Every structure is written in structure tokens, then in C-alpha cells.
């Protein structure tokens, strides 16, 4: 973005920086000003926003500024005057060099620039921190400027964060407004080309990357499955087309390799006979298992269960319910024996497969939760061991990927139809589901999940973050793959480092890569708000900023402020036609907010201003009181 009016979501203006008292450490150097002199050789020294009281053993003059070094901490802190008196903010090259000599540091341009930066911002510094920081400056990636790195180092010093490469890289990459999608794409390419990584590890990570990069592939894959099943059950498709569709399901490991157009349905039914009821996770599979395991003496009770289940299916059409109930009535008239029960179970299985395939197609995605269930129910009828929601999700994503790579014109046409159905029903609920899928897949709450006794550890381990950690720690991982994985991991860590709290005030920063139907975008979200006394978010007050980089609209910023449930939105974009396009949508937005008990005050569309004054996104939300540290210090 060419505009300089917007300061991207970053760390330069940390609204939640804790205002902590000065902590002295052995070897540390800091800049201080003698503010007042007191009897008994006591003096008040100003160090940044902090004040400390020290006992002087060297005559000093009020108003003079010096550099002090901590030479001892036991039994009391002792400071050494490193440089002679100087006027504040007038550090010369000579004085910098004097300080470098005292600390035995190299007089390189980078070291001088960094030392000047620390002094200008009145930050305590140490030899070890400066040496580490200089090393980082010498090895910056091409996408990172030296000024960005200096701001990060400043933030680490201000917040007293560990001076480690992990924290530095986390803050560098985690606060960028773009690059996550390309980082994911880069790692995907490198993994796909690498032959040295253990196949199962490689497959698991690639599958997770696919789910994150294309979160709607789960929905697309479900629609592809329903269309494929319908065509296999129909009589209009040619044998060649049916073979191609069957091969698609075989490639996605949904159908057995030996399945044919004539036998696949019966083979699916046999799989149900070989599984226990405990293995059935979907209601429809459990119903089928109940029928198959019923004894003739229990047939009456079983029939009632089936009839009740059919009546409770609000998403099945009345015609489908009638057909299923007619099947039950025919069975009810037959003599009850193991053979007739098995025949009924087989016919019920076939009717349910037809019903769920057709119903999913009739109502593609009007309700994401319901239709995901339809897809999963259909899959569980065909491949019962895929009834686990996690397995079903990965199966659909894999099916969408294989369909996208297929050279079959039949499969390509079907995928285009599935994409069109998803596009036609894309709404807020589906977007919400997609974002949740991305955040869950990235492992944003991985550490929190480990501390939660209710969490599914196996599910947590499948998210991207722990898998990247294992990949990086594996000595056999090639350096190029390790570096690409470390880039993504640093971004994830950086988001957590940039998110935090200060009393009742909270900040949350998220970078979300999104790809919908061939269109790629990235959304960076920053939420600033406060918490109630019960620990819950106060929905009456908040400030939310979205930074989007979209293919058509390009850079876009949405700044939403909520005050006592009154919402004001500023939309920043350099496209001149955007205001006209946004006009007709205002009423829809207003109604949607009213439904949630919010009132729209105004929607204002503005261009980014060409000015060097940064957009002040993060206002300080706490009193920056000057803290006094009453310690006895010898100078």
C-alpha cells in the first residue's frame, strides 16, 4: 500500500503494554537524569517513565544526564557512571563510542544505530541483548526492514520479553498484514516436492495445509460426494462416466479398490455388518446397526424406533419420509426372521443413501451445520469407518482436492457445478464456519487446549502448530522445509505475543488466510475491548479493525467502533466506486445489527490519506502513571 496514513496492525503502538516498574539487572546500562538532590547524598533519578532513589558516592549535579551501568546487585544495587554529563536527547557519536568502549562492544554502524535507538527511547540495555540484536539485524529476511526490526527489539525490551530468536521472529512475522497465504503455499510446495520426510508426517501436514488454505473444500467435497452417488444410482449416466466417478471415490479412499458400478452399494452395506455399534458415530449409522442386530423377537420395538427416527428428520422431504415409511410397512407385514431382517436392513440402507444424496443436492448449503451433517451422514452410510467427524472432514477435503486435479471431463464438470452451488449459497454462516475451520486448523488455541482437561488431545495434535513443531525439531528435515515451517510457526507465535491483556482491557490479533473459489485474500483482525467482572467480554464496547487485501478491491481497512451498542464504521479504500456500491447494503447492515440489538450510527467510506502522520489505531487505555521505585542504590 502506498498510503502512509494507516499504521498497519503491529506492535509500534501497543495499547496493552504493561507499565512496569524498572527492574535492574547485573551488567545493564540505562540512561538517567538527576532530577533532584536530597540531604544525606540522596538523589531522585528519572529513568524513562520510572523514578528511583539512589545514594550518591560520587558528586553529581541536578539536571545532568548520564549513562549508568549496574555493577553489583548484592547486597544492594550499585551503579557506575559510564559517561560524563550530557544534555538529554543530545547524544553525540563520541559519547556513543565512549559507551561502546565501556561495554566492550564493536563500533559497527548497526551497533551504533541500535544503541542510538535504545537511548532515544530510554530503554535499559545490556551487552548480551545488544549483541543478540545486532546478529538479528545482520540476518533479516528480505521482507523485513531494519526499522521494523528495531521496533520489535524495542517492544521486547519494553515488555521485558525473553531476548530469544523465537520471540523476535514471532513479533516480526506475527504482526504483518500479509504473507500468511504465500507462506502456506510455499511450505505446501516444498513438502510436496520433498521425498525425505516420512510419508505419514508429510501427508498429515499437507492435509492440514489444504484445509486451512481452502476451508470451503469440506462443503465442496460433500456436494461432490452427493452428486457422485446420485449419478452412480441413476440410469442416465454411461458406463464410462460411472467408472470415472467410481475411480474418483476410490482415489479418495471412500470406496474399496475392488468395487464396481454394480457392487459398490452392497459392499458398503457389508461394511456395516462388520462393525460394532460403538464404532458408529452418526445417528443414521447407529439406526442401521440397530436394525441389523435386532432379533426377530425384538422386531416390533425396532420398527417403532425406525418410525420415530424417520418422523424426527425435519430435513427430509415429506415424499422421502413417505417412501421410507412404506418400506417399514412392507417389512412389518413379513414374517420376522434373520433373513427378512437382513433384507429390510439392506433395503433401508439403499433408501437412506438415495435420500441423503438427493436431499443434500436439493438444499446445498442453506444451513452450514445441517448440511455438513447431511454430508457426514451420507459418507457414513457408504464408508461407516469414516463416521468420525474429524475423519469425515479430512475425507471431504481430500475428495475436493482429487476432483480438482482430475483430468476426467465428467469429474471436472461436476466440480464446477459444486463450486457454483457453494458460491450461490455463500452467506455469513458459511463464512463464520470457514473462519472457525481456519483458526482451529492453524492451532491458534493449541496451548490453551492443552491446559483444558476437557480438550481432545488427539484432535489438538492434528492441528498445524504441533505438527510444525515436530517437523522443525526433526533433525532429518531439510533446511528449506524447516525454514518455511518456522516462518509459519513464527507468525502463529507472534499473534499470541501481540494479543494480551492489561487489567480489564484486552487485545486480540489474528491473521487469517482465506481462499474461496479460486479467489485468495488475507484478513488481519484486531479486537480491542474490555472484560466484565465475571471475566466475559463486554459486548457493549469494543473497537474492531479488519485489514483486508482482496483481489479486486485491493487494500481495504474496516474500522468498527462500538460505544454502548452504537456502531460506527469507517471503510478505507482507494476505489472511487466503492461508496456507490456500499450504499444499497447499508439498510441490510442496519437490519442485521438491529437483530443483534446494535444500532448503526453511520457507515463512512474514505480514501486512504497520503500523509506521513500514522493512523492512530491503538489508543492508550490506561493511565501512564509514573512509578516510583524506592530502592537503596549506591552510585
Domain that holds residue 130: 29-159
Lowest-pLDDT range of 79-88, 142-151, 180-189, 216-225: 79-88
Task: Annotate 581-628 with three-state secondary structure.
Answer: HHHHHHHHHHHHHHHCCCEEEEEEEECCCCCCCCCCCCCCCCCCCCCE
Report the run of H or E that residue 376 belongs to, with start and end. Answer: helix 368-382
pLDDT tens for 458-489 read 777 888 888 999 999 988 899 999 999 998 88
Cα(462)–Cα(445) distance, integer angstroms: 13
Residue 76 lies in a domain: yes
**pLDDT value of residue 615:** 37
Nearest to 103 by CA among 88, 119, 85: 119
Q: Are strands 50-55 and 65-72 parallel, antiparallel or unpaired?
A: unpaired
- What confidence tier does 347 reach under pLDDT thresholds 50, 70, 90? very high
Question: Of 435, 453, 474, which one is at a domain's C-terminal end?
Answer: 435
Q: Are residues 226 and 149 in the same domain?
A: no
**pLDDT value of residue 9:** 33
Q: Are residues 81 and 218 in the same domain?
A: no
Cα(176)–Cα(194) distance, integer angstroms: 28
Task: Annotate 169-230 with three-state secondary structure.
Answer: HHHHHHCCCCCHHHHHHHHHHHHHHCCCCCHHHHHHHHHHHHHHHCCCHHHHHHHHHHHHHH
**pLDDT value of residue 635:** 41
Q: Give the CA distances from residue 344 to residues 230, 317, 333, 349, in Å, rounded to whole numbers and listed in that order.
A: 22, 21, 12, 8
Is 276's pLDDT higher than 70?
Answer: no
Non-local CB neighbours of 337 within 8 Å, separated by 6+ positions: 296
Cα(141)–Cα(129) distance, integer angstroms: 20
Q: Are residues 322 and 431 in the same domain?
A: yes
Residue 555 lies in a domain: no
Question: Of 435, 454, 477, which one is at a domain's C-terminal end?
Answer: 435
Q: Are residues 254 and 387 in the same domain?
A: yes
Is 356's pLDDT higher than 60?
Answer: yes
Q: Are residues 136 and 265 in the same domain?
A: no
Is 424's pLDDT higher than 60?
Answer: yes
Non-local CB neighbours of 585 within 8 Å, separated by 6+ positions: none
Cα(282)–Cα(496) distance, integer angstroms: 36
More confident residue, 2 or 606: 606
Nearest to 93 by CA among 113, 75, 78: 113
**pLDDT value of residue 11:** 34
Q: Are residues 389 and 253 in the same domain?
A: yes
**pLDDT value of residue 391:** 82
pLDDT tens for 187-219 read 999 998 988 898 888 888 988 888 888 888 888
**pLDDT value of residue 519:** 65
CB 215 within 8 A of CB 434: yes
Is 8's pLDDT higher than 70?
Answer: no
Q: Are residues 139 and 37 in the same domain?
A: yes
- What confidence tier does 17 reach under pLDDT thresholds 50, 70, 90? very low
Residue 468 lies in a domain: no
Question: Of 383, 415, 435, which one is at a domain's C-terminal end?
Answer: 435
**pLDDT value of residue 183:** 87
**pLDDT value of residue 76:** 66
As a whole number of Å, the CA-based R_g of the chain is 32
Nearest to 558 by CA among 540, 578, 539, 577: 578
Is 599's pLDDT higher than 70?
Answer: yes
Cα(485)–Cα(181) distance, integer angstroms: 13
Q: Give the CA distances from residue 232 to residues 226, 261, 377, in Å, rounded to whole numbers and listed in that order.
A: 10, 7, 18
Helices (H), 234-282: 239-251, 264-273
**pLDDT value of residue 7:** 33
Q: Are residues 149 and 282 in the same domain?
A: no
Share of the chain above pLDDT 70, in %: 82
Mean pLDDT of the chain: 78
Is 248's pLDDT higher than 50?
Answer: yes
Residue 184 lies in a domain: no
- What confidence tier does 239 reach under pLDDT thresholds 50, 70, 90? confident
Q: Are residues 308 and 389 in the same domain?
A: yes
Residue 423 lies in a domain: yes
Is 611's pLDDT higher than 60?
Answer: no
The model carries a pTM of 0.68
Bond before 234 cis per omega within 30 degrees: no
- What is the sign of the dihedral through the CA atoms of 141, 144, 150 and 156? negative
**pLDDT value of residue 630:** 35
Residue 23 lies in a domain: no
Is 228's pLDDT higher than 50?
Answer: yes
Cα(208)–Cα(422) distance, integer angstroms: 21
**pLDDT value of residue 513:** 81
**pLDDT value of residue 68:** 77
pLDDT tens for 307-336 read 999 988 877 888 989 999 999 999 999 999
Q: Are residues 120 and 237 in the same domain?
A: no
Q: In the β-sheet with 42-47, what is the strand arrangement from edge to edge? A: 78-81, 65-72, 29-38, 42-47, 50-55, 628-629
Q: Are residues 280 and 404 in the same domain?
A: yes
Q: Give the CA distances from residue 236 to residues 240, 343, 547, in Å, rounded to whole numbers and listed in that order.
A: 12, 27, 49
**pLDDT value of residue 613:** 35
pLDDT tens for 65-109 read 777 777 776 766 677 777 666 654 455 566 677 778 777 788 888
Is 225's pLDDT higher than 90?
Answer: yes
Q: Are residues 214 and 124 in the same domain?
A: no
Residue 260 lies in a domain: yes
The dihedrals phi and psi of 500, each to the nearest 5 degrees, come to 180, -170
CB 70 within 8 A of CB 25: yes
Q: What are the DSSP E strand ranges found in 19-89?
A: 29-38, 42-47, 50-55, 65-72, 78-81
Residue 177 lies in a domain: no
Helix, strand or coil, per DSSP, at residue 274 = coil
Reading the block at residue 225, the C-alpha cell is 460426494
**pLDDT value of residue 480:** 92
Question: Of how many residues is the chain composed?
Answer: 635
In sequence order, the β-bridge partners of residue 11 are: none
**pLDDT value of residue 600:** 93
Q: Please identify which residue in the block is written with the cell numbers 442485521.
A: 592
Say how many domains are in the chain.
2
pLDDT tens for 358-376 read 864 444 444 444 444 678 8
Average pLDDT over residues 529-544: 83
Reading the block at residue 21, the C-alpha cell is 516498574
Amino acid at each position: 500500500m502506498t498510503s502512509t496514513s494507516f499504521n498497519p496492525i503491529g506492535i509500534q503502538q501497543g495499547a496493552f503494554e504493561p507499565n512496569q516498574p524498572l527492574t535492574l539487572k547485573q551488567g545493564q546500562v540505562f540512561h538517567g537524569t538527576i532530577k533532584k538532590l536530597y540531604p544525606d547524598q540522596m538523589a531522585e533519578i528519572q529513568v524513562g517513565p520510572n523514578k528511583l532513589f539512589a545514594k550518591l558516592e560520587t558528586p553529581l549535579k541536578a539536571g545532568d544526564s548520564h549513562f549508568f551501568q549496574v555493577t553489583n546487585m548484592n547486597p544492594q544495587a550499585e551503579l557506575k557512571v559510564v559517561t560524563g554529563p550530557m544534555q538529554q536527547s543530545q547524544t553525540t557519536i563520541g559519547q556513543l563510542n565512549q559507551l561502546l568502549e565501556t561495554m566492550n562492544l564493536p563500533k559497527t554502524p548497526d551497533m551504533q544505530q541500535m544503541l542510538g535507538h535504545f537511548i532515544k527511547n530510554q530503554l535499559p540495555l545490556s551487552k548480551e541483548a545488544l549483541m543478540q540484536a545486532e546478529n538479528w539485524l545482520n540476518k533479516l529476511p528480505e521482507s523485513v526492514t531494519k526499522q521494523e526490526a528495531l521496533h520489535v527489539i524495542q517492544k521486547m525490551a519494553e515488555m521485558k520479553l525473553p531476548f530469544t530468536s523465537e520471540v523476535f521472529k514471532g513479533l516480526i512475522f506475527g504482526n504483518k498484514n500479509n504473507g500468511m497465504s504465500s507462506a502456506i503455499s510455499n511450505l505446501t510446495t516444498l513438502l510436496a516436492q520433498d521425498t525425505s520426510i516420512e510419508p505419514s508426517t508429510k501427508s498429515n501436514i499437507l492435509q492440514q495445509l489444504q484445509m486451512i488454505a481452502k476451508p470451503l473444500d469440506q462443503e465442496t467435497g460433500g456436494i461432490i460426494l452427493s452428486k457422485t452417488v446420485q449419478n452412480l444410482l441413476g440410469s442416465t449416466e454411461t458406463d464410462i462416466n460411472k467408472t470415472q466417478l467410481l475411480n474418483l471415490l476410490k482415489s479418495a479412499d471412500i470406496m474399496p479398490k475392488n468395487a464396481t458400478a454394480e457392487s459398490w452399494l452392497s459392499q458398503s452395506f457389508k461394511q456395516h455388518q462388520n462393525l460394532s455399534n460403538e464404532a458408529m458415530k452418526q445417528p443414521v449409522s447407529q439406526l442401521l446397526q440397530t436394525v441389523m442386530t435386532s432379533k426377530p423377537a425384538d422386531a416390533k420395538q425396532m420398527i417403532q424406533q425406525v418410525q420415530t427416527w424417520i418422523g424426527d428428520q425435519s430435513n427430509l422431504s415429506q415424499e422421502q419420509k413417505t417412501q421410507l415409511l412404506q418400506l417399514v410397512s412392507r417389512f412389518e407385514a413379513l414374517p420376522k426372521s434373520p433373513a427378512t431382517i437382513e433384507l429390510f436392513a439392506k433395503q433401508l440402507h439403499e433408501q437412506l443413501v438415495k435420500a441423503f444424496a438427493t436431499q443434500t443436492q436439493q438444499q446445498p448449503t442453506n444451513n452450514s451445520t445441517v448440511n455438513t451433517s447431511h454430508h457426514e451422514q451420507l459418507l457414513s452410510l457408504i464408508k461407516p469407518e469414516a463416521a468420525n467427524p474429524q475423519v469425515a472432514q479430512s475425507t471431504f477435503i481430500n475428495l475436493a482436492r482429487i476432483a480438482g486435479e482430475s483430468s476426467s471431463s465428467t469429474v471436472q464438470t461436476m466440480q464446477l457445478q459444486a463450486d457454483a452451488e457453494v458460491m450461490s449459497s455463500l452467506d455469513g454462516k458459511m463464512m463464520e464456519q470457514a473462519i472457525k475451520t481456519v483458526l482451529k486448523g492453524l492451532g491458534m488455541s493449541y496451548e490453551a487446549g492443552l491446559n483444558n482437561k476437557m480438550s481432545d488431545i488427539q484432535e489438538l495434535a492434528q492441528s498445524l502448530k504441533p505438527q510444525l513443531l515436530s517437523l522443525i525439531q526433526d533433525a532429518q528435515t531439510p533446511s528449506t522445509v524447516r525454514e518455511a515451517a518456522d516462518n509459519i510457526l513464527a507468525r502463529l507465535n507472534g499473534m499470541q505475543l501481540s494479543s494480551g491483556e492489561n487489567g480489564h482491557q484486552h487485545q486480540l490479533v489474528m491473521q487469517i488466510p482465506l481462499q474461496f473459489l479460486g479467489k485468495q485474500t488475507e484478513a488481519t483482525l484486531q479486537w480491542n475491548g474490555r472484560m466484565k467482572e465475571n471475566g466475559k467480554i463486554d459486548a457493549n464496547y469494543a473497537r474492531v479493525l479488519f485489514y483486508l487485501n482482496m483481489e479486486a478491491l485491493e487494500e481495504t481497512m474496516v474500522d468498527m467502533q462500538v460505544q454502548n451498542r452504537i456502531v460506527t464504521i469507517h471503510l478505507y479504500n482507494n476505489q472511487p466506486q466503492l461508496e456507490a456500491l456500499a450504499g444499497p447494503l447499508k439498510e441490510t447492515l442496519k437490519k442485521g445489527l438491529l437483530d443483534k440489538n446494535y444500532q448503526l450510527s453511520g457507515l463512512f467510506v474514505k480514501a486512504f490519506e497520503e500523509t506521513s502522520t500514522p493512523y492512530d489505531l491503538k489508543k492508550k487505555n490506561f493511565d501512564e502513571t509514573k512509578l516510583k521505585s524506592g530502592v537503596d542504590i549506591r552510585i
